[in-house]
């Protein structure tokens, strides 16, 4: 396994030093519905209250390299703020390039809410982030360090570049239309976002530039409530009606398209779902993400959700890598407000109830 990793590292280094422009794709999450502000900043504060999310993804665990992603977000839907939108913080960390490159991004999301009718609203959001990429040249094993008999025993003559970190600003923008009916038996949203608007230079070598390609995202989803509240049996939420959450998201970055569509259902506080993922390009592949989770309601307006998904590879490379494991933990406080007298569920300009202000799935 160590020999395989050394060979992979050598190949990666050759590419790093010889290719004039290096481009790639952002990390992708199978549970995109649990990290909405990652894909579109307009989701920030889409519903009233505070939501915190933590997601961990282990991509291709069978490979002798680390492809792990960590995501945290906290966003507040506050209708007593100017613009009646929301504020949010996101922190994202991941490894790339066989784990030799580490990325850390910290961003601030701000959204503005524009009511269109009593059952339709729009939101526009922007994200401003600071990104740091780092590479540890000591992690590499060079060919002049290797002995055919004893392995890695020699010192390398490779002159490591002084630049092992890259820090730059990054920006994204997005918009959403959210709608529902008066009884809230169904609701939905449709949106569009662009990330890395100014294509910042993320290269380590000063002689060449490596612009970060723009990412284009389009998405839509629905929440369909079937039936009425039943006997809770003493456990909060267990008598809630069946909810269905079908959706679709499409991303395109650097010429590679990724389509994800599927359905998640909620009943008896249990989540079950399946999502089909199709990567389009020269090395296209497909997979099915199987989702399961549980919701525990502390109160009618406060709950915690735990969800797990596994990517089952169907076709294309890289087959035999172990798919991907993904874990999400979400805390919802639907009526929490930090400014004013708790006007949750009202537009400050209209002072009347809006069915759009329903809790999330």
Q: Which of 269, 230, 234 is nearest to 361 (CA)?
A: 269
Structure tokens at 114: 């524009």
pLDDT tens digits, one per residue of 177-190: 999 887 778 899 99
Mean pLDDT of the chain: 82
CATH number of the domain residue 134 falls in: 2.40.160.40
| CB burial string 233-265: b at 16+ within 10 A, e below | eeebebebeebbbbbbbbbbbeebebebebbbb
| CB burial string 138-174: b at 16+ within 10 A, e below | eebbbeebbeeeeeeeeeeeeeeeeeeebeeebbbbb
Whether the CB-CB separation of 351 and 114 falls below 8 Å is answered with: no
- How far is 53 from 253, CA to CA, in rounded Å? 25
What average pLDDT score do residues 329-333 get?
Answer: 94
Residue 11 has pLDDT above 60, yes or no: no
Domain interval for residue 94: 2-333
End-to-end CA distance of the chain: 43
Structure tokens at 269: 């506080």
Domain annotation covers residue 343: no
Domain annotation covers residue 141: yes
pLDDT tens digits, one per residue of 18-60: 333 444 578 899 999 999 999 999 999 998 889 999 999 998 8
Could you give the 3-state DSSP secondary structure of residue 123? Answer: strand
Domain annotation covers residue 350: no
pLDDT band at 15 (very low <50, low <70, confident <90, very high): very low
Instruction: Return the ∠ at Cα 31 (arms to 79 and 357), rounded to 5°.
Output: 20
pLDDT tens digits, one per residue of 286-319: 999 999 999 999 988 899 999 999 999 888 766 6
| Predicted pLDDT of residue 223 | 93
| Predicted pLDDT of residue 6 | 45
| More confident call, 351 vs 356 | 356
Domain annotation covers residue 358: no
Q: Which of 331, 315, 334, 335 is nearest to 323 (CA)?
A: 315
| Predicted pLDDT of residue 268 | 93
pTM of the shown model? 0.84
20: CB partners within 8 A, 6+ apart? 208
| Predicted pLDDT of residue 358 | 61
pLDDT band at 132 (very low <50, low <70, confident <90, very high): very high
Number of H helices, E strands in the chain: 2, 16
Neighbours of 334 (CB within 10 A): 21
Structure tokens at 53: 């999310």
| Predicted pLDDT of residue 55 | 97
Max distance between CA atoms of the chain, in angstroms, equals 79
Residue 163 has pLDDT above 80, yes or no: no
pLDDT tens digits, one per residue of 237-284: 888 899 999 999 999 998 899 999 999 999 999 999 999 999 987 777
Residues in the chain: 361
What average pLDDT score do residues 153-172 get?
Answer: 80
Domain annotation covers residue 321: yes
Domain annotation covers residue 221: yes
- How far is 101 from 135, CA to CA, in rounded Å? 5
| More confident call, 236 vs 155 | 236
- How far is 208 from 48, CA to CA, in rounded Å? 46
Domain annotation covers residue 346: no
pLDDT band at 99 (very low <50, low <70, confident <90, very high): low
Number of domains forming the structure of the chain: 1
- How far is 303 from 295, CA to CA, in rounded Å? 7
Cis peptide before 358 (omega within 30 of 0): no
Q: Left if phi > 0, otherwise alpha if psi is -120 to 50, otherwise beta: which for 268? A: left
Residue 347 has pLDDT above 50, yes or no: no
């Amino acid at each position: 396994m160590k020999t395989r990793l050394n060979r992979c590292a050598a190949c990666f280094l050759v590419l790093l030093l010889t290719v004039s422009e290096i481009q790639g794709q952002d990390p992708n999450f199978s549970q995109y519905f649990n990290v909405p502000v990652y894909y579109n900043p307009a989701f920030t504060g889409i519903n009233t209250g505070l939501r915190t999310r933590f997601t961990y993804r282990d991509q291709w665990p069978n490979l002798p390299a680390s492809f792990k992603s960590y995501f945290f977000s906290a966003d507040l839907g506050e209708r007593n703020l100017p613009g009646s939108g929301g504020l949010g913080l996101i922190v994202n960390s991941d490894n790339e390039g066989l784990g030799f490159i580490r990325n850390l991004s910290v961003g601030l999301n701000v959204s503005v809410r524009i009511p269109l009718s009593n059952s339709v609203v729009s939101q526009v959001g922007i994200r401003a982030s600071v990104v740091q990429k780092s590479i540890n040249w000591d992690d590499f094993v060079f060919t002049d360090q290797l002995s055919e008999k004893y392995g890695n025993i020699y010192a390398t003559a490779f002159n490591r570049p002084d630049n092992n970190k890259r820090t730059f600003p990054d920006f994204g923008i997005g918009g959403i239309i959210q709608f529902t009916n008066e009884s809230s038996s169904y609701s939905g949203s449709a949106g569009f976002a662009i990330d890395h608007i100014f294509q910042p230079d993320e290269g380590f070598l000063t002689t060449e530039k490596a612009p970060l390609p723009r990412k284009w995202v389009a998405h839509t989803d629905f929440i369909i409530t079937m039936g009425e509240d039943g006997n809770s049996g003493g456990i909060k939420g267990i008598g809630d009606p069946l909810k269905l959450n079908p959706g679709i998201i499409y991303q395109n970055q650097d010429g590679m398209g990724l389509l994800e569509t599927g359905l998640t259902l909620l009943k008896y506080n249990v989540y079950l779902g399946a999502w089909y993922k199709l990567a389009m390009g020269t090395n296209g592949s497909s997979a099915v993400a199987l989702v399961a989770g549980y919701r525990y309601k502390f109160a009618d307006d406060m709950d915690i959700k735990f969800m797990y998904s596994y990517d089952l590879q169907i076709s294309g490379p890289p087959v035999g890598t172990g798919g991907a494991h993904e874990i999400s933990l979400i805390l919802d406080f639907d009526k929490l407000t930090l400014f004013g007298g708790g006007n949750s569920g009202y537009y400050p300009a209209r002072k009347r109830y809006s069915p759009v202000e329903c809790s999330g799935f």
